[in-house]
A = this chain, B = another copy of it.
Amino acid sequence: MRSIRYQEIADELRDRVRNAAPGSLLPSESELSTEFSASRVTVRRALELVRDDGLIDARQGFGWFVATEPVPQRLESLGTIEAQLETSGRDAQRRVLEFAFEKPPAHVRRVLGAAKVLRVKRVNLADGEPFAVVTVWCPAELGERFSLSDVERHPFYELLDGKLRGATQTIGADIAHADEADLLAVPIGAPLLKCRRVTNDADGRPILMSEHLFPAHRTEFVVELPNDVPSVTPAGLRLVE
């Protein structure tokens, strides 16, 4: 069986990088070149492969270093909306509208499996203008630890820091009804993006359910598809029953 040299080198480098501290420098390309008895071009191709994995990065005149963020964010190049607002210098606020312990609606109960839940409804503002209405449900025994001011001051993921592990997110569309139209300052019947998310804890059990409504004229989802595209049809779409 033949083998490609730069792939061998890339594998070796991946191994080393995984056991190295983030931010630490790799040997220079010419050093690696002599060490592997390969030309600089070959070493470079290997390095570029590892970079494509998100494990390392390079700066001209400086060198190759282990990437600080070992978990590459393949899914989307954009961060959270809050971080976006912050970097663009806009002011982000949230206003809690409702905060109640109650019996969950059927579709929430089916997912969370709790007889009593905390429901928090709030509106998110960017520069004073509303851009999202968010409803979050979580089991009552978890929600009892939070006060209204906790929820008002901190995002939910901070309060549950470290407990959240993965999520499934479905994106749909709806039109604004009277209640939502009022909150989002759009006319009744305006198109909305509706996002339902089920967030799991470290053990994979769902512990958080949330519904987000965005006015379509101000928001859109962006998904980067770095690899081969299997179809012109949007990936991730499914027909609902």
Contacts and interface: CB of A to CB of B under 8 A. Distances in A.
A156 B167 CA distance: 32
A175 interface: yes
Contact of A234 (B2, B174, B221): B221
Interface in A1-58: 1-4, 20, 24-28
Interface stretch (A70-78, A107-115, A142-150): A70-78
B171 A220 contact: yes
A173 interface: yes
Most buried by B among A192, A214, A222, A226: A222
* Copies of this polypeptide in the complex: 2
A106 interface: no
Interface string A169-182: 11111110000000
A193 B173 contact: yes
Most buried by B among A194, A212, A223: A223
A233 interface: yes
Contact of A81 (B171, B199, B239): B239
B81 A233 contact: yes
A9 to B, nearest CB: 16
A233 B80 contact: yes
Nearest to A191: B173
A128 interface: no
A212 B182 CA distance: 29
A234 B164 contact: no
A169 B225 contact: yes
B233 A220 contact: no
A46 to B, nearest CB: 16
A238 to B, nearest CB: 6
A70 to B, nearest CB: 8
Contacts of A61: none
Given A216-B174, A234-B195, A223 B28 contact: no
A132 B135 CA distance: 30
Given A134-B232, A216-B174, A230-B157, A225 B75 contact: yes
B76 A165 contact: no
A234 B70 CA distance: 18
A105 interface: no
B82 A228 contact: no
